[in-house]
Amino acid sequence: MSATSSSDNLTVVPGKARGAAAVSFADRLRPYVWTLRSGLRTMRFLFGRFPRECPVCGYKGRFFAYANPLALGINIDSLCPRCFSHERHRLLVLADRAQALFANKNILHFAPEHGLKAYIHARQPRGYTTCEFGGRGADLDINIEKIDLPDNAFELVVCCHILEHVDDHLAIPDLFRIVSKGGTLIAMTPVIEGWDKTFEDGSKQKTEDDRILYFNQHDHLRFFGGDLRSRLRSAGFIVDEYTAVEPDVSRYGLIRGEKVFLCRKPEA
């Protein structure tokens, strides 16, 4: 129902209209004051608001604020100053604590993150291979849209915040192909749960400003909606989900409702 619907019981007082002409100088100043105050408050908390715990490296203390310089927004209490973990890495480690994802598995890890790499090593996997497009700092140079690896090669594939950067219609079937039967793909990516359908539009991927405006980061190509699940299922995966609730969300500095998608390849 619109705010001007005839059923609205609004009383307009002459001389009190909130039109542009009626806005005082103090009113016009107010949003600047509010925003400056928000900025100053954010600056106060750049190096932490509350003590937290990092399940990746065991650090206890304040996490730092983090913002990708080529994105919008800033997360307070986001970055572990010891292992550089973000919220998603700490959530994945909680999923591992609950389901023993890494121990005794032959693992392929895309774009390996510093802290997570050390954590997985310490779980004593049966095999652990890292890969990166371009190969920098990793064991293999792999293009996730055209994976040059044999079928059924890995029991566990870790793919954390990559699918939003690439053509997932190419990547997901190829990931399914390289996961062994009964094995698992760990997929994490930003998902707008309020959207049934992924937003992607080739005309809005062309410039850095458009990608920041529509997808919130200079190198993102889409915002997944709830249909991420059907995209994963259509490749053949059985999709399970893990999320954390309180008190773990506050204790470990997590994003409320963030999901780890545990995508299992059927045995047969």
**Single residue of 49, 82, 218, 264 touching Zn ion by CB under 5 A:** 82
**Residue 91 within binding range of Zn ion, rule CB under 5 A:** no
Q: How many C-beta atoms lie closer than 10 Å to residue 258's C-beta? A: 19
Left, alpha or beta for 250 (phi > 0: left; psi -120 to 50: alpha)?
alpha
Beta strand 260-264 with 238-242 is: antiparallel
Q: How many C-beta atoms lie closer than 10 Å to residue 177's C-beta? A: 16
Nearer to Zn ion, 23 or 122 (CB): 122
**Residue 85 within binding range of Zn ion, rule CB under 5 A:** yes
CA quadruple 197, 228, 89, 115: dihedral sign:
negative
Provide the 3-class DSSP secondary structure of residue 116. helix
Provide the minimum distance between the beta carbon of 109 and Zn ion in the complex, in angstroms, as a whole number. Answer: 17
**Residue 57 within binding range of Zn ion, rule CB under 5 A:** yes
Provide the minimum distance between the beta carbon of 121 and Zn ion in the complex, in angstroms, as a whole number. Answer: 15
Nearer to Zn ion, 82 or 233 (CB): 82
**Residue 177 within binding range of Zn ion, rule CB under 5 A:** no
Provide the minimum distance between the beta carbon of 57 and Zn ion in the complex, in angstroms, as a whole number. Answer: 3
Provide the minimum distance between the beta carbon of 142 and Zn ion in the complex, in angstroms, as a whole number. Answer: 26
CA quadruple 82, 83, 84, 85: dihedral sign:
negative
Provide the 3-class DSSP secondary structure of residue 17. coil
Where does this chain touch Zn ion (CB under 5 A) — which range of 35-43, 58-66, 116-124, 242-250? 58-66
* Whole-number Å distance between alpha carbons of 137 and 139: 7
CA distances from 123 to 47, 154, 163 (A): 30, 16, 25
**Residue 94 within binding range of Zn ion, rule CB under 5 A:** no
Nearer to Zn ion, 221 or 244 (CB): 244
Site residue total, Zn ion (CB under 5 A): 8
**Single residue of 45, 47, 59, 64 touching Zn ion by CB under 5 A:** 59
Contact criterion met (CB below 8 Å) for 226 and 191: yes
**Residue 93 within binding range of Zn ion, rule CB under 5 A:** no
Of 245, 229, 226, nearest to 237 by C-alpha is 229
**Single residue of 76, 79, 83, 166 touching Zn ion by CB under 5 A:** 83
Interface residues for Zn ion in 33-52 (CB under 5 A)? none
- Tell me the CA end-to-end span of the chain in Å, nearest whole number: 52
**Residue 54 within binding range of Zn ion, rule CB under 5 A:** yes
Where does this chain touch Zn ion (CB under 5 A) — which range of 41-49, 77-85, 125-133, 232-240? 77-85
**Residue 56 within binding range of Zn ion, rule CB under 5 A:** yes
Q: List residues binding Zn ion (CB under 5 A).
A: 54, 56-57, 59, 80, 82-83, 85
